Chains A and B, each alone.
Chain A
Amino acid sequence: MASSTLEIKDLHVEIEGQEILKGVNLTITGGEFHAVMGPNGTGKSTLASAIMGHPKYEVTKGEVLLDGENVLEMEVDERAQAGLFLAMQYPSEISGVTTSDFLRSSINAHREEGDEISLMKFIKEMDEALDYLEIDKNMAQRYLNEGFSGGEKKRNEILQLMMLKPAISILDEIDSGLDIDALKVVSKGINKLRDESFGCLIITHYQRLLDYITPDKVHVMMNGRVVKSGGPELAKRLEAEGYDWIKQELGIEDETVEQKA
């Protein structure tokens, strides 16, 4: 499969009338892993949600293109079908719908009518992915995210990622709330997908995740913009020295644009 390109150009986003993103520029191509870092409240999660089409976020200016197609004009399901995926920080709980039924509907949504995945093939693929992520098989029959622990929810997001095999994936703080063992398992799942046809945007404010998933490029967000970009060495320096040196360098006093979560 050919690799895809996601271009974010001068993206401005508001939530309830307050501007959060003030002109973000980023380009991700298949085969590349990018990390977006930054302290809390600098617009990282807003970037992820706005690209996917969360109902609360309003894009006021700029473009998001996937292989030249305008993503912002697509419905949420069309964005997914075009090849985008967002592993969410706070996935919804859907009562009465089993994880397995949801996964199968999702896979079939990416296929033509009449070409639905066979039940046998689906179960085989799901079981393999469950084993790979060291998830209890009972989870498939539990209602989607209902009563899941924080760690279970994160693993479930990666399970979906592995089964849907998108062209470009955004991981929104997939490491938050994970213990070190869970973090290793989740990283193993993401690394398994690494090839020329898969691009990934990893949002995190800890360097920790990047010990297990090596990024090709690292970007720092402050004040709703990307203020610095570099290679993996940038993440190392942030781990050692924190963010203050960037603030000093750029003359930023308060880097936040939204209330801290």
Chain B
Amino acid sequence: MTVETKLPYDQDYVRSFSENKKEPEWMKELRLQALDLAEGLEMPKPDKTSIKRWNFDDFKHDVDGEMINSLNEVPEDIQVFLDMENHNDNLVIQRNQSIAYKSLASGLSEKGVILTDIQTALQEHSDLVQRYYMKDAVQIDENKLTALHTALMNGGVFVYVPKNVQIEEPLQAIFWQEDPEAATFNHVIVVAESNSSLTYVENYFSQNKEEHAVANIVTEVIAHDNAKINFGSVDNFAAGTTVYVNRRGVAYRDANIEWNLGQMNDGNTVSENVTHLIGDNSNSYAKTVSVGRGKQSQNYTAKIVHFGKQSEGFILQHGVMKESASTIFNGIGKIEHGATKSNAEQESRVLMLSKDARGDANPILLIDEDDVTAGHAASVGRVDPVQLYYLMSRGISQQEAERLIIHGFLAPVVKEIPIKAVREQLTEVIERKVY
């Protein structure tokens, strides 16, 4: 059965939205082209999760947010994500769909590093944005949501590090969905030119428990020859926001992309994290931790596709499901013909804390080349009542015992995360979700 869905926004709306923002002509054309395509495209079909009844239509598209003068003005729940003592000089805060705060260390801007909101990037670096926007990583017509994303994009950041520039300190973006119904159609582009390196950390945050909103996010991460990108994220959308997040990496020769994703949304979520290892000797390590609670349904795909010779991919995902949350973890290692001496490894583990929680891990290896190595491990299980008994026999309450077991279960991933800020944020958010 096909359902004719009327798109909530038409050509006139999209055209005037783009014109009001004084976007370059190419962006306006791309939006209109995408809107045309969206009509005829199918919704994404995540394996084993039905998203037919999820809200992808009910949201406010165009919502401004006010500037802030000091980081003390952001709510305490967001301050957790900021290092309030040693202010991060490289920070963008987006409030609803406006930029609220922006700073970049002068030493970095002198070297040609760009960390700015996507609208400013379209004004000041139009050619550079056009070079990467929905080109090498995500395609407009992958599904209805990628097309809608392109048509309705209303925020995001652009990060660019020139050749041979190595950045030690993290570049950070905070996306604060303050209006409970504001849509987050964010586009994030992270480009590391040859021989450069960077660490980027982003946080999504909302508080809409009842009100409906939609997040439709595309992130494109490009590591040129011998570049190294360390990408960290802690997603923290509240229960009212339906999330589609597509994070895609492309690694060229000798390049490295490391993903550290804390998938801590409280609402229904489809997350695709795909890396294309294009160049010889490129590699990617994709780590995910997740805590599901309430009635949320989630579907995570971590996929690494090997094209280059001697490319290495490793997927590690651990998830804990509470209450009646349900989550599917798909791990896909794909080795294309010609990618000799490549190695695809993955490990997925799911722990369920209640009888109504559901979890599943699907390890998939698709291999079209003989001279390779690959492996997978997956487990899905419930909390062992004898473990709880042991901990409780020392006076520890059941709640505290479960807290210890959850932290312990997620620890092997959390401690692997090389970015201290993300590790600490994650521990904090896990703590909040466990109770």
Contacts and interface: CB of A to CB of B under 8 A. Distances in A.
A144 to B, nearest CB: 8
Given A53-B389, A54-B389, A55-B386, A94 B394 contact: no
Interface of B: 384-387, 389-398, 400-401, 404-405, 407-412
Nearest 9 interchain pairs by C-beta: A96-B408, A96-B411, A80-B395, A109-B395, A106-B394, A92-B390, A76-B392, A97-B408, A77-B392
Contacts of A105: 394, 396, 400, 404
B396 A109 contact: yes
A171 B375 CA distance: 44
Quick one: which of B386, B395, B396, B404 has the most chain A CB within 10 A? B395
A89 to B, nearest CB: 12
Interface of A: 52-56, 75-77, 79-81, 85-86, 88, 91-92, 94-97, 101-102, 105-106, 109-110, 143, 160, 164
Given A92-B386, A96-B407, A143-B408, A109 B397 contact: yes
A81 B392 CA distance: 10
Contacts of B410: 96
Given A55-B385, A77-B398, A92-B387, A86 B404 contact: no
B400 A92 contact: no
A76 B410 CA distance: 25
A86 B408 contact: no
Given A80-B394, A96-B409, 8 more contacts: A79-B393, A92-B386, A92-B391, A94-B404, A101-B404, A105-B404, A106-B396, A143-B408
A77 B402 CA distance: 13
Contact of A94 (B391, B392, B395): B391
A15 B412 CA distance: 36
A97 B405 contact: yes
A91 to B, nearest CB: 6
Contacts of A77: 392-393, 395-398, 401
Main secondary structure of the interface of B (DSSP, over half): helix
Main secondary structure of the interface of A (DSSP, over half): mixed
12 contacts: A55-B386, A75-B398, A76-B392, A80-B395, A94-B391, A95-B408, A95-B412, A96-B412, A97-B404, A109-B396, A160-B394, A164-B395
Contacts of A88: 390, 393
Contacts of B408: 94-97, 143
Contacts of B393: 52-53, 76-77, 79-80, 85-86, 88
A94 B387 contact: yes
A75 B404 CA distance: 18
Contacts of B397: 77, 109
A91 B394 contact: no
A97 B407 CA distance: 7
B398 to A, nearest CB: 7
A94 B398 contact: no
A196 B400 CA distance: 32
Nearest to B396: A109
A76 B389 contact: yes
A76 B393 CA distance: 6
A91 B390 contact: yes
B352 to A, nearest CB: 16
Contacts of B412: 95-96
Contacts of B385: 55
A105 B392 CA distance: 10
A143 B404 CA distance: 11
A96 B404 CA distance: 8
Nearest to B385: A55
